[in-house]
Amino acid sequence: MNDKSLLALYGLKYNPFQPDIPVDAIWTPPGMDMFYFRLENLVKDGGFALISGEPGIGKSKILQIFANKLNRLEDVVVGVMERPQSSLNDFYREMGALFGVNLSPANRYGGFKALRERWKNHIKSTLFKPVLLIDEAQEMISYCMNELRMMASEHFDSKSLLTVVMCGDERLPERFRSTELVSLGSRMRFRIMLDHYKSSDLHNYLNHALEQAGASHLMTSHLKDTLAEHSAGNIRVLNNMAAELLAAGAQKQVKQLDEKLFLEIFSRNSGN
């Protein structure tokens, strides 16, 4: 069954268990509203913030929500790094492309000055610091991280020219304990480390996801409990199981997904 037929069968606006859901439909985990508020204030002051946690816990979605919030603010310039693992030359090329500065990697000092001047002019005209969002930041080489640290500050580190939000798995905060990066780690003004979710949180997540997709009737309450209990507190694991159930339910043309289908599908899979 193709995607359109699956959506039509259950009255879904989109598949809520795929990564490309609309940003306005993304679930906000408990306790994140205060963190978003603090990040938005950081745009006025500049500095570094850190989001970390194990794979599949929802870090990138949190960064996506924050980027969407910033895009609604006038005069805020947001750059999203697409290749954090770059060499230093490519790091300068990408920074130049993100902030509209024509840089020559052969002249790093010139690039360093040009970026800082661009940021200073932006701050002078808008009173907002430019923003750099880095997902999968654990892949950045240490030299680029330290280059960014020095580039983003002036007047003996008393002023910030840039707001940087770094997002990565558990390796990222561990790297900031190393000798070469401890200085950057000490500059993280806000940190949040995402942990495994409680079953009740994941049940609420499913309610939200289905309601936003236009099919709150899709799953029984018992099935939601079952999925939440078997997902190890991980949203990606939960979505993968739910997506498999949705495809199986569509194939069987069942009207509602329930725990009977869960047992049939996952008991069979565990037996293979």
Q: What percent of the chain has pLDDT over 70?
A: 97
What backbone torsions phi and psi does residue 166 show, to the nearest 5 degrees?
-105, 135
Number of domains in the chain: 2
- pLDDT confidence tier of residue 135, bands split at 50, 70 and 90: very high
Residues 127 and 7 placed together within one structural domain of the fold: no
Span 28-67, pLDDT tens digits: 998 888 999 999 899 999 999 999 999 999 999 999 999 9
Domain that holds residue 227: 3-20+198-271
- Establish if 27 belongs to a structural domain: no
Amino acid identity of residue 264, one-letter, is E
Sign of CA pseudo-dihedral 147, 150, 151, 152: positive
Please state, in angstroms and as integers, the Cα–Cα distance from residue 248 to each residue in 2, 166, 223, 240, 269, following that order.
12, 38, 14, 12, 12
Separation of alpha carbons 8 and 5, rounded Å: 5
Backbone angles phi, psi at 63, to 5 degrees: -65, -35
| Same domain for 36 and 127 | yes
Look up the CATH number of the domain holding residue 8.
1.10.8
The share of the chain scoring above pLDDT 90, in percent, equals 82
Residue 152's nearest CA partner among 108, 110, 118 is: 118
CB atoms within 10 A of CB 155: 8
* Statement: residue 1 has pLDDT above 80: no
Is the separation of the CB atoms in 103 and 115 below 8 Å? yes
Mean pLDDT over the full length of the chain: 92
Q: What is the pTM of this model?
A: 0.91
Tell me which of 193, 213, 244 is where a domain ends. Answer: 193
Judge whether residue 170 has pLDDT over 90: yes
Helix, strand or coil for residue 103?
A: coil
The predicted pLDDT at position 6 comes to 79
Strands 159-160 and 153-154: antiparallel
Q: Name the pLDDT band for 271 (thresholds 50, 70, 90).
A: low
Rounded to an integer, what distance in angstroms lies between the CA atom of residue 176 and that of residue 103?
29
Query: pLDDT tens digit string along 206-240?
Result: 999 999 999 999 999 999 999 999 999 999 999 99
User: Is 26 a domain residue?
Assistant: no
Domain boundary among 193, 216, 246: 193
Calpha distance 105→123 (Å, rounded):
25
104 band by pLDDT with thresholds 50, 70 and 90: confident
Please check whether residues 183 and 213 belong to one and the same domain.
no
Q: 20-34, 104-118, 141-155: which range is least confident on average?
A: 104-118
